[in-house]
Amino acid sequence: MANPVTSSISDRTVETDQDLADRINRIALQDSSKRIRKTINNKSQLLSKEEGMGLTYLNTEPNLKVLIVANVHKAVFTNAKIKAHFEELFKLYSKETRFDYLPSLSRVRVEYDSEKNAEVAKNAYNKQNVLGNVVQVFYAKVAVTIDRGGGNFLQVPERERNFLISPPASPPVDWEPIPETHPNIDYDLLAAVANLAPGTEHELIPATGNHPGIIVHISENPDGFTNSDRPKIIQTRRPQFNE
């Protein structure tokens, strides 16, 4: 009686190297076609999902009703009486005022009921001595969601890997880098730069007991800083050798 294991092996058709290669190619083509069909279906679903959607992003703008008071004295955060006196100073311009204290940053967020009252308070207390410290008052920045609806803008694809700004190692077809957005505009800084005049001193941060002040001196002759008046470096003479 023949061994069943031996008989089963002998009954098989011997597969050559060419047959094995052809079978591997057929399996690879089938798998590739499946991936292509899956990619097309995903793109179709993505396009149908993105129809009618707008491009939404965040931008920062100053809130003219909210003030940030910086360099607030530490006693404002620890002493109830001094804290009440601090609130009375800012409530002189509006009783409807909200205070949010940030002791770790030595700052207080003050929210007024109108832009006019906030502007008057900002001009009154900015760079003034308030309860022992010279404070700085500026408008708070808030994040605003801007929705650019319509189909005229490119939508960010919902993919596992998005090639946005940094070039990928193997970029896909028709890949192009996306330009970065413009930096945030600081209106207080632009107003301060516009007030600078040549030949005068401008104190940006007043000096305190433990910290020095910062003063900017505007040059009357900006051309004097050019490199035309710099002395030329004389080349060192090569020493002579006796031949």
pTM of the shown model: 0.42
Partners of 143 in beta bridges: 60
Say if residue 55's pLDDT is above 60. no
Alpha-carbon distance of 104 to 219, in angstroms, equals 38
Nearest to 199 by CA among 171, 169, 174, 220: 220
Please check whether residue 111 is in contact with residue 96, taking contact to mean a CB–CB distance below 8 angstroms. no
**Exposed/middle/buried for 112, CB within 10 Å: 0-12, 13-18, 19+?**
buried
What tens digit of pLDDT does each residue of 14-33 get? 456 566 666 656 665 565 55
Please check whether residue 118 is in contact with residue 112, taking contact to mean a CB–CB distance below 8 angstroms. yes
**Pairing label, strands 55-70, 107-111:** antiparallel
Confidence class for position 108, pLDDT limits 50, 70, 90:
very high
What is the set of domains in the chain, with CATH numbers? 58-147 (3.30.70.330), 187-220 (no CATH)
User: What angle do the packed helices 80-90 and 115-125 form, to 10 degrees?
Assistant: 120
pLDDT at 69: 92
Alpha-carbon distance of 116 to 64, in angstroms, equals 8
